[in-house]
Structure 1
Amino acid sequence: RRQVITVYAPLDEAERASLLDDSAVLARAEAAAAEFCAMVPGSEQGLREVRVFRRGHAMPMTTVGFVTRLQPASAADLPPVYFAASDSAGEISDLAYAALNGIAAAEKALLRL
C-alpha cells in the first residue's frame, strides 16, 4: 500500500537563501532521506521520492508582525503567478479563505489573457 509522509521543517530566516541553490536543496533532500531511513529501519527499499517545496507552507509563527507584515508579503502577487492559498490570507487557514483566494487568483489571471 502506498503511503505519503509529510514532514514540515522550517528554516531559520538566515538559512532560507540556501533554498535558491539547487545543489544545497538536493543535499538537504538527501540528508532528510538518510535521516528518515535511519529512524525507520527498512524504509530505504520503499522510499521512492523526496520532494522539497521551496515556497513552503506559510505556517504561522508566533512572531510580532506576522499578520500585519509577513503574511501580506507572502501573499503578494508575482504576475503572471497569483497565489491562492488560504495560509497567507486571513488569520486562520481554512477552506473558505482557500476558495475566495482561488477565485480572486483566477480572476487576476484571466485579466492577463
Structure 2
Amino acid sequence: MDSILSPFGITILLPIVVFHALSFIAGYGLSGLVFRGTPDVKALQRTISYETGMQSSLLALALANRFFQDPLVSVPPAISVVIMSLMGFSLVMFWEKRRDLTAKESSLS
C-alpha cells in the first residue's frame, strides 16, 4: 500500500486514468463510425467501448509478478486494475441511468 501512495504511485495515476478514458472513448467513437448502419448501434458501441477500456491491466499484473523480482514493478498494473474497474463500473451505471431516463421520458410523451 505504501508503494501506491508514494510519489511514484501518485505520478502514474494520471497516465493510467487517461489511458483507460481514451480507450473507452475510442471504443465508443470508432465503433460508431464503423457500424453506423447497424441496427441498435448504441448497444454495440457501449459493448465495444466497455471491452476496449477493460483490457490489459490484469495481464500486465500477472506478467509483472511472474517475470520481475522487484515488487514495485507490479504497482502500475495494480493501480490500473483498480482504476479500470472503477471507470468501467461507473460507465455502465451512467449508461443504465441514461437509458432509464430516456425510457421514462418516452413513456410520458
Higher RCO structure, 1 or 2 (CA under 8 Å, sep 6+): 2
Normalised by the length of structure 2, the TM-score is 0.29
TM-score (norm 1): 0.28
